[in-house]
């Protein structure tokens, strides 16, 4: 009989860990407190408009394909995606508009003209970004940082020899300012800090590797929206014999004092030789692991930012918009000061606007667009969200109306709002953070929770709050690291 694995949570990392461990011969059961799989990777419909609930930017699709490859299945049978020719449209209040093309040479030439920067500076920046990625990705993203072996590899030694090039000491903003004199280009590259919910004025310069994810490896659109990633992985999991218990919250990880023996849910008790926790680690220690010694230093790490999202059905189409659009704040340092220090919302926020009906018109009624309008927000510490939401709606509408030359409010046919409190309640992510802990400290990578427990044998952790961090690609990698740590079933 196969050995049993229980996975707590069906976020993207939980689904991926379940599939990888099933392939290793385990009898896998996933427990999910919601009625549906996917966690933050979920979707909903409102009056004929389709909306992705959370993630909208899809990078590194091969990490999803790998899960179908494991079973020697053609991922195309389950899941389609297409690479985008343009990455993002940027707008500034002074009327400057800039489209980042997927083609790097085209990007460099256009950016040099629009921002009057020497092409050589932009090329050098991208080359250094590539070096940083190549020197560190295999160590920081693909392996456990908490196993001695990682430090004995050739790649680690290579990275150690190029520490100076990695820009570990200065901030991302400092690095960007050292390359570019135009504040708009600095702001464009500073924005990459938000890809892991961090502050560009604090996160270390090594984060200038993040543009590689989209500029080198490309950005993609999955047919049916981001939620199709969840749907296809869930379908594959069911076909491979993984069992799911929805609407069943896990309340405790059971141990015999040394190793895990199973779980207790709100309904019953279940035995397993191995437990993989996809729940946010902070919340897991508060609820599932109350009796265990807490890794206090790890749990005290600053959380990543959260978000405030307005899902608007808009009864008009806008030719100047694409799938991904950014309308920048006029005072970026102040915006981040509000988010991370004042723990509030700035009245001139950077607005991200995602419109999947640009790729698939069927995502909205004829002649209409499904707008996912997001601003970065502090995590929930009990702020007065009702008043912050009302104020932010006014600021967002002002910015969008001014940049698009048309009053947006009268075009809104349907509205749903997601705030940090809802994110916290619906995904059990502490403070509603999008990406677990922030990368604002230089040691952040080492202070993320390891992919295994140091006190309970056979207890593992995957997902945005564990190593290597949040975002779909990293969550998929966390599941891969967990699976690599677990031997095949006997």
Q: Which residues bind ligand FAD (CB under 6 A)?
A: 8-14, 31-34, 39-41, 54-57, 249-250, 278-279, 307, 309, 423, 427-429, 434-435, 463-464, 470-472, 475
CA 362, 364, 365 angle in degrees (round to 5)? 95
Q: Which is nearer to ligand FAD, 56 or 173 (CB)?
A: 56
CA separation for the pair 294, 288 (Å, rounded): 12
CB of 159 to ligand FAD, least distance (A): 24
Helices assigned H by DSSP within 148-226: 154-161, 172-179, 183-190, 211
Q: Which is nearer to ligand FAD, 43 or 166 (CB)?
A: 43
Question: Where do the DSSP E strands lie in 389-450?
Answer: 412-418
CB of 288 to ligand FAD, least distance (A): 6
CB of 440 to ligand FAD, least distance (A): 17
Cα 185 to Cα 100, 150, 438: the distances in Å are 11, 36, 23
CB of 231 to ligand FAD, least distance (A): 14
CB of 54 to ligand FAD, least distance (A): 3
Q: What are phi and psi of 276, to 5 degrees?
A: -115, 125
Q: Which is nearer to ligand FAD, 33 or 89 (CB)?
A: 33
Tokens describing residue 326: 């950014």
Strands 250-255 and 49-52: unpaired
Q: Which is nearer to ligand FAD, 33 or 403 (CB)?
A: 33
**Backbone φ/ψ region at 382: left (φ over 0), alpha (ψ -120 to 50), beta:** left
Tokens describing residue 272: 């397993």
CB of 470 to ligand FAD, least distance (A): 4
Q: Which is nearer to ligand FAD, 188 or 475 (CB)?
A: 475
The residues, ordered by sequence, that sit 6+ positions from 145 with a Cβ below 8 Å of its Cβ are 139, 445, 446, 448, 450, 467, 468
Tokens describing residue 62: 């091969």
Q: Are 427 and 420 in contact (CB under 8 A)?
A: no
Q: Which is nearer to ligand FAD, 135 or 430 (CB)?
A: 430
CB of 13 to ligand FAD, least distance (A): 3
CB of 27 to ligand FAD, least distance (A): 19
Tokens describing residue 412: 């809104």
Q: Which is nearer to ligand FAD, 100 or 166 (CB)?
A: 100
CB of 324 to ligand FAD, least distance (A): 9
CB of 287 to ligand FAD, least distance (A): 6
Q: Which is nearer to ligand FAD, 254 or 402 (CB)?
A: 254
CA separation for the pair 198, 302 (Å, rounded): 10
CB of 174 to ligand FAD, least distance (A): 26
Q: Which is nearer to ligand FAD, 13 or 166 (CB)?
A: 13
Q: Which is nearer to ligand FAD, 109 or 299 (CB)?
A: 299
CB of 179 to ligand FAD, least distance (A): 25
Tokens describing residue 265: 């849910």
Helices assigned H by DSSP within 272-431: 281-287, 296-299, 332-336, 385-404, 420-427
Tokens describing residue 378: 């502090």
Q: Which is nearer to ligand FAD, 204 or 471 (CB)?
A: 471
Strands 274-277 and 4-8: parallel
Q: Are 130 and 122 in contact (CB under 8 A)?
A: no
State the Rg of the chain over Cα.
Answer: 22
Q: Which is nearer to ligand FAD, 166 or 423 (CB)?
A: 423
Asked whether the bond before 468 is cis by omega within 30 degrees of 0, the reply is: yes
Q: How many C-beta atoms surround the C-beta of residue 412 within 10 A?
A: 16
| Closest by Cα among 37, 99, 57, 45 to 374 | 57
CA separation for the pair 432, 434 (Å, rounded): 6
Q: Are 91 and 403 in contact (CB under 8 A)?
A: yes
CA separation for the pair 300, 297 (Å, rounded): 5
């Amino acid at each position: 009989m196969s050995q049993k694995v229980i996975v707590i949570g069906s976020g993207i990392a939980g689904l991926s860990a379940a599939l990888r461990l099933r392939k290793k011969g385990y009898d896998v059961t996933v427990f999910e407190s919601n009625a549906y799989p996917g966690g933050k990777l979920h979707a909903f419909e409102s009056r004929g408009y389709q909306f992705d609930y959370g993630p909208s930017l899809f990078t590194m699709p091969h990490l999803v394909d790998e899960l179908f490859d494991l079973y020697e299945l053609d991922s195309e049978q389950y899941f389609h995606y297409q690479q985008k020719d343009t990455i993002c449209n940027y707008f500034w209040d002074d009327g400057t508009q800039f489209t980042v093309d997927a083609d790097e040479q085209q990007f460099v030439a256009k950016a040099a003209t629009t921002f009057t920067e020497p092409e050589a500076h932009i090329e050098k920046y991208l080359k250094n970004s590539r070096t940083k990625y190549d020197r560190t990705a295999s160590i920081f993203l693909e392996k456990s940082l908490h196993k001695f072996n990682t430090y004995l590899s050739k790649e680690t030694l290579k990275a150690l020899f190029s520490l100076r090039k990695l820009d570990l000491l200065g901030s991302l903003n400092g690095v960007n300012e050292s390359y570019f004199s135009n504040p708009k280009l600095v702001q464009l590259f500073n924005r990459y800090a938000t890809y892991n919910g961090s502050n560009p004025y604090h996160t270390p310069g090594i984060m200038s590797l993040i543009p590689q994810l989209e500029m080198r490896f490309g950005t993609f659109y999955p047919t049916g929206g981001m939620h199709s990633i969840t749907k296809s992985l869930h379908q594959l999991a069911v076909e491979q014999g993984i069992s799911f218990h929805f609407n069943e919250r896990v309340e405790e990880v059971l141990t015999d004092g040394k190793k895990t023996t199973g779980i207790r849910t709100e309904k019953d008790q279940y035995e397993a030789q191995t437990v993989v926790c996809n729940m946010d680690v902070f919340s897991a220690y508060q609820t599932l692991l109350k009796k265990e010694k807490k890794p206090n230093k790890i749990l005290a790490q600053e959380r990543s930012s959260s978000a405030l999202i307005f899902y608007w059905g808009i009864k008009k189409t806008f030719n100047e918009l694409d799938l991904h659009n950014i309308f920048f704040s006029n005072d970026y340092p102040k915006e981040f000061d509000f988010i991370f220090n004042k723990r509030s919302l700035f009245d001139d926020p950077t607005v991200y606007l995602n419109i999947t009906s640009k790729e698939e018109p069927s995502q909205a009624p004829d002649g209409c667009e499904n707008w996912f309008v997001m601003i970065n927000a502090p995590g929930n510490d009990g702020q007065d969200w009702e008043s912050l939401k009302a104020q932010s709606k006014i600021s967002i509408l002002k910015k969008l109306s001014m940049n698009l030359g048309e009053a947006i409010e009268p075009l809104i046919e349907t509205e749903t709002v997601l705030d940090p409190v809802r994110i916290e309640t619906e995904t059990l992510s502490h403070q509603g953070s999008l990406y677990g802990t922030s990368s604002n400290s230089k040691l952040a990578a080492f202070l993320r929770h390891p992919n295994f427990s140091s006190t309970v044998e056979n207890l593992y952790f995957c997902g945005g709050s564990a190593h290597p961090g949040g975002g779909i690609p990293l969550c998929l990698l966390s599941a891969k690291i967990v699976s690599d740590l677990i031997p095949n079933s006997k």
